[in-house]
């Protein structure tokens, strides 16, 4: 045989054996061959995980983790989620309202006993006072109940229920306008806007630490997306390290851009301004601004909130300032509400955690004290557990 052919054959065999050895070695070390991607993209029908409590991710990809935590290294993007529609939210959340304080049910059970003694009336009064209604509101409701009981008697449970329902509904005040102001404003004089751009409706979220502002901001973005609104969010909480990442993850899930600063401790007013300007440039309908939690007795921090509002106003007036309150704080939340209202002029309340231990009467008290309506309520930790407040549904749940 030709010596040259023998050499060629030997080299071919060695090359084949070497290649097999290399692939086998990679597999033993858990590596993929060069031609195969080491990351499998998310299935297009696979939704990102549901949200956990604020600042806590339940598993990779949940709010609270860095953007892209649920994506492959190759840049595979999960399918955008479809937020639940408003009618669907209302139907599902009405049932949960039944857990938001049972004072209506407790009062109804006493009224249904028949001939009421003075101790029965005292029991009703005590129940109302411990439900966060406040002394003034309790006395007002008690006077109405006593008067109607004398007129109608207390032997007809349905009549009694109707009287109580009417009294509670009047206190909750269904005539209040609970719609969000989403009208796009005219630009401020001298506004620094791109040619032809129009400002988006601006919503500023404020409140103390721990009420769930960032989570509520993300959930509100979902509500607006479900209404086919184009939304931009601004991460003006520049002091909490995870806040911008958390808000970005909420935005990624529904295709909402988040304007943020890469520098921790950046001027929050500057971030808010950039977000409002970016929203106008993109033709967005609404811009949501998340702010850092602040104690109501810290004058410097409250002044900073006023600065954020003023700087945003250089583009266009802020149409909605929503105060996020934890419903479980009860009367303790009233001082918070008053100070924030004085600082920035609150236009609406978002009550979070209005389930479980919340007593429900805070709805009446905060509206009475501030003269502004409860516009949204949160009744759980799910991504779509935020809905417009329904006065009649709330009262009926109390009496269910």
Q: Tell me the DSSP string of 92-110.
A: HHHHHHTTS--HHHHHHHH
In 3D space, the residue among 221, 255, 245, 260 whose CA is nearest the CA of residue 60 turns out to be 245
Whether 325 and 394 share a structural domain: yes
Residue 363 lies in a domain: yes
**Quick one: pLDDT at residue 33?**
33
Please count the CA atoms within 13 angstroms of the CA of 46 that sit on its side-chain side. 11
How does residue 357 score in pLDDT terms, banded at 50, 70 and 90?
Answer: low
Bigger pLDDT: 13 or 311? 311
Residues 299, 150 within the same domain: no
Cβ 247 vs Cβ 290: under 8 Å: yes
Handedness of CA 262, 265, 269, 272 (dihedral sign): positive
**Could you tell me if 235 and 150 lie in one domain?**
no
Q: For residue 152, what pLDDT is reported? A: 74
Sorting pLDDT into bands at 50, 70 and 90, what band is 376? Answer: very high
The beta-carbon contacts of 139-148 under 8 Å, at least 24 apart in sequence, are 140/171, 141/167, 141/168, 141/171, 145/107, 145/111, 146/121
Q: Are residues 370 and 258 in the same domain?
A: yes
Lowest-confidence segment of 48-57, 179-188, 245-254, 362-371 by average pLDDT: 48-57
For residue 147, what are the domain limits? 97-172
Q: What is the pLDDT of residue 18?
A: 54
Has residue 162 been placed in a domain? Answer: yes
pLDDT at 50: 31
First to last CA, the chain: 99
In a domain, 35, yes or no: no
Residues 131, 266 within the same domain = no
Q: Does one domain contain both 206 and 279?
A: yes
- Domain endpoint, select from 172, 190, 216: 172
pLDDT of residue 154: 64
Q: Which residues pair with 325 in a beta bridge?
A: 351
Q: Is residue 63's pLDDT more than 50?
A: no
The answer to whether residue 167 sits within a structural domain is yes
- Write the CATH number for 163: 1.20.120.140
Which of 24-28, 115-119, 129-133, 178-182 is predicted least confidently?
A: 24-28
pLDDT tens digit sequence for 294-326: 766 677 778 889 999 999 999 999 999 999 988
- The residues, ordered by sequence, that sit 6+ positions from 266 with a Cβ below 8 Å of its Cβ are 238
Q: Residue written as tokens 């993850």?
A: 249
Confidence band of 203 (pLDDT split at 50, 70, 90): very high
Which pLDDT band holds residue 116 (cuts at 50, 70, 90)? Answer: confident
The answer to whether position 312 is within a domain reads yes
* pLDDT (0 to 100) of residue 365: 84
Q: Tell me: do 283 and 345 sit in the same domain.
A: yes
Residues 220, 331 within the same domain: yes
Q: Across residues 223-249, what is the average pLDDT?
A: 92
Using the structure block, give the residue that is written with the tokens 């407040």.
Answer: 389
pLDDT at position 111 is: 82
Q: pLDDT tens, 133-156? A: 888 889 988 998 888 888 877 667
Is residue 9 one of the residues assigned to a domain? no
Mean of the per-residue pLDDT values for the chain?
78
Partners of 286 in beta bridges? 201, 231
Share of the chain above pLDDT 70, in %: 75
Residue 375's domain is classified under what CATH number? Answer: 3.40.50.300
State the CB neighbour count (10 A cutoff) for residue 43. Answer: 10
Binding-site members are 207-214, 290-294, 352-355
* pLDDT, mean of residues 176-195: 93
Task: Classify residue 132 as exposed, middle or buried by CB count within 10 Å of its CB (0-12, 13-18, 19+).
Answer: buried
Same domain? 291 vs 374: yes
Which is more confident, 159 or 36? 159
| Confidence band of 36 (pLDDT split at 50, 70, 90) | very low
> How many domains does the chain contain in total?
2
Q: Which residues pair with 203 in a beta bridge?
A: 288, 320
Contact call for residues 54 and 64 (beta carbons, < 8 A): yes
pLDDT at residue 186 is higher than 70: yes
What is the pTM for the complete model shown? 0.77
DSSP string, 209-272: TTS-HHHHHHHHHHHHHHTT--EEEEEE--SSTTHHHHHHHHHHHHT-EEE--SSTT--HHHHH
Annotated binding site for GTP: 207-214, 290-294, 352-355
Q: What are the two backbone dihedrals, phi and then psi, of residue 209, each rounded to the nearest 5 degrees?
A: -65, 140
> Are 165 and 205 contained in the same domain?
no
Which of 37, 78, 41 minimizes the C-alpha distance to 61? 78
Query: Does the pLDDT value for residue 285 go beyond 70?
Result: yes
Query: How far is Cα 132 from Cα 102, in angstroms, rounded to an integer?
Result: 12
Lowest average pLDDT, out of 94-98, 164-168, 176-180, goes to 94-98
The reply to whether 177 falls in a domain is: no
Residues 75 and 69: their CA atoms lie apart, in Å, by 11
Residues of the chain with pLDDT > 90, as a percent, come to 34
* pLDDT at residue 284 greater than cutoff 60: yes
Same domain flag for 159 and 242 = no
**Residue of 214 and 106 predicted with greater confidence:** 214
Do residue 123 and residue 205 come from a single domain?
no
Q: Between residues 104 and 223, which one has the greater pLDDT?
A: 223
Question: What is the structure's pLDDT at 12?
Answer: 60
**Cross-strand partners of 323:** 206, 349
């Amino acid at each position: 045989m030709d010596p040259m052919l023998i050499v060629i054959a030997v080299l071919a065999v060695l090359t084949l054996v070497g290649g097999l050895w290399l692939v086998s070695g990679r597999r033993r070390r858990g590596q993929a061959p060069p031609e195969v991607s080491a990351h499998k993209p998310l299935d297009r029908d696979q939704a990102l995980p549901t949200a956990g409590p604020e600042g806590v991710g339940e598993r990779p990809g949940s709010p609270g983790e860095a953007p892209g935590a649920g994506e492959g290294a190759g840049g595979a993007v999960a399918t955008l989620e479809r937020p639940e529609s408003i009618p669907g939210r209302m139907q599902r959340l009405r049932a949960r309202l039944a857990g938001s304080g049972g004072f209506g049910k407790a009062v109804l059970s006493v009224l249904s006993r028949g001939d009421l003694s003075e101790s029965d009336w005292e029991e009703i009064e005590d129940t109302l006072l411990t439900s966060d209604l406040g002394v003034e509101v309790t006395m007002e409701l008690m006077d109405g109940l006593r008067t109607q009981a004398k007129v109608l008697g207390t032997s007809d449970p349905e009549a009694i229920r109707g009287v109580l329902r009417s009294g509670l509904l009047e206190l909750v005040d269904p005539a209040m306008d609970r719609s969000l102001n989403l009208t796009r404003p005219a630009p401020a004089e001298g506004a620094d806007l791109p040619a032809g751009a129009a400002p988006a409706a601006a919503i500023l979220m404020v409140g103390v630490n721990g009420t769930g502002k960032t989570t509520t901001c993300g959930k509100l973005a979902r509500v607006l997306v479900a209404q086919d609104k184009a939304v931009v969010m601004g991460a003006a909480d520049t002091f909490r390290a995870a806040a911008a990442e958390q808000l970005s993850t909420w935005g990624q899930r529904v295709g909402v851009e988040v304007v943020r600063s890469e520098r921790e401790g950046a001027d929050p007013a500057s971030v808010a301004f950039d977000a409002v300007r970016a929203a106008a440039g993109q033709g967005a309908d609404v811009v949501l601004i998340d702010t850092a939690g602040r104690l109501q007795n810290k004058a410097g921090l409250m002044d900073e909130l006023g600065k954020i509002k003023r700087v945003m106003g250089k583009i266009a007036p802020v149409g909605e300032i929503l105060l996020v309150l934890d419903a479980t704080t009860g009367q303790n939340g009233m001082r918070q509400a008053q100070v924030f209202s004085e600082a920035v002029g609150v236009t609406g309340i978002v009550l979070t955690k209005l389930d479980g231990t919340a007593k429900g009467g805070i709805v009446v008290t905060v509206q009475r004290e501030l003269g502004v309506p409860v516009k949204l309520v949160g009744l759980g930790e799910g991504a779509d557990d935020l809905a417009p407040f329904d006065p009649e549904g709330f009262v009926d749940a109390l009496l269910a």
